Structure 1
Amino acid sequence: FALLIDGIGVGLTTNSMYLMVSQIPDATNRTSGYAAYNAAQISGINFGMLCGAALASSMGRRGIFPLVALLWFVSALLFFALSKSLGLGSVPLGEKKNAKENGGAGRVLSFLHRRRVWSFIVFAQAPFVLMASFVYYYLPLYSDASGLNEVTVAVLMMLYSMFAIYLGGGLTKWVMQRTGKAAPYAPILLSAAAVLLYAWAANFWGLFAAIFILGLANGFGRSVQQAQFSMLDECEEYGVPDAMGIFNFTDFIGQSFGPAVMGLVFLSKNMFGSTCVFALALALVCAVHFAINLSKKNK
């Protein structure tokens, strides 16, 4: 129950912050905003994990939960105070009225029915979210089976996140300039190569290398996909903030199913064979999405 409540809080906070960034009118600045927020979020997660690991080792795990509740309460107060004073996320009255008049499930379904929208969510966003689940699902299992302590796990998580923190903005711009419309596929293919490397080595150093490569993909992957999705003509027509709200919702769904998929792949009897099939499937998914969007006509 505690994890459920905590997850709801994380989801609401993350979605509200992304909606604020999506209201930036200029596409280039909006991309930089996504990269900056992702870096700040991951930096906070890293700091919290390192502090939490140290506190859990010294004072026990039970004492961490009251401290987390207190931090959530203080953070919520600061967030509301700053939002009100700076006017962040405020929507003009006319836009609120139009949103109510044009809203409804029918409008959402019509948006999701657009070819470039649903294909991006299914063939680009979902595979990347699934691959990110490797770190959050398999790393704790491996660490527990290998007898690694909390501090070691926290250090590995910091390795995973350092690219997004220190190089996120630069990596995002560089990848988008070099690869163009193929940018959403780069983090997926990098992630597939990383898990293949671990499945082949099947030891700590293989895991270390895989986390390093996954961290590189994570450094630009989420920001690139958010930027590319928000620049779709369909999102401009629907309204970028509303479209990004749907994008974040499907992202959270993918995070929920990701561990189940990772479990099927990495807990099978033939882990390397299962991983090869999984990586090949990801490559085919990228090819299918590219083929679907060769035509500029929308359906």
Structure 2
Amino acid sequence: MTESSSGEPIAPFDPTADDHEYLATAAGGLAPLVARELEGFGALDLREDRAGIHFRADLATLYRCLLGSRVASRILLPLARFDEPDGDACYVASRTLHWPALFGLNATFAVDVTGKSSHIGHTHFAGVRVKDGIADAFRDATGERPDVDAADPDVRVLLQLQGRQAQVSLDLGNGGLHRRGYRGSGGDAPLRENLAAALLMRAGWPEHLETHPDAQFLDPFCGSGTLVIEAALMATHTAPGLLREGFRPHGWSGHDAGLWDRCVAEARDAVRAWDGPALLGSDRDRGAVAA
């Protein structure tokens, strides 16, 4: 076990363990909705703080969360927490982690940075320092380093800057979970898919579907249709992760391809036809509707 610069113990990742602690991030005010989702998928020991919702899960439960959460922004495997995140601290925190236990030399990786800190003038610089730390940790352990692929990596590392603190994690969804895969070009201010889902949950749409099999839906200012599409996904019990082409947490060492395929099949089997009235949206902007 290692300790971060803040003195908090960080347990190294053990791919043979039955379960791990994960972190689901959420937009402001949406953590209770995400917690309710996670609990419904079987997550345990839920705990909310400013970083998000911490929870424990075995691998099958984690996969159900990744496939099925409509509101979570990301689902992470936290690796290190540290204080005063300047460039050197970002490098040291990432270099001291045992990355070869997390992914192999033949896996590509990328580093994303979110948040802000007075210690970092440019988030790209912080990301470069984390990347350098990962590369040097691999060289120390193996004599080689994996390649970077910023566009389509096998493994995505996330640095979260939180003022005077920071956290390094593996992003198990390989990017924001709001990216369902159905959106092409949105309008000038497209509504994020997970925020649309949250609005529908707050409005009671899922409960209304259960009590009214002939439920009607109309969004008269639909833009490119995000609310209508999310309403349809709920009506058909379609897990949003099913729409993401090539979506699988395949790059990290904890991945079980056979179990993932079974969870995907389980999610597909849960999809049902919608026999109620057409779900409707309209907008005066023809371009937005066409998109």
- State whether TM-score is above 0.5: no
In terms of fraction of residues, the more helix-rich structure is 1
In terms of fraction of residues, the more strand-rich structure is 2
If the length of structure 1 is used for normalisation, what is the TM-score?
Answer: 0.23
If the length of structure 2 is used for normalisation, what is the TM-score?
Answer: 0.23
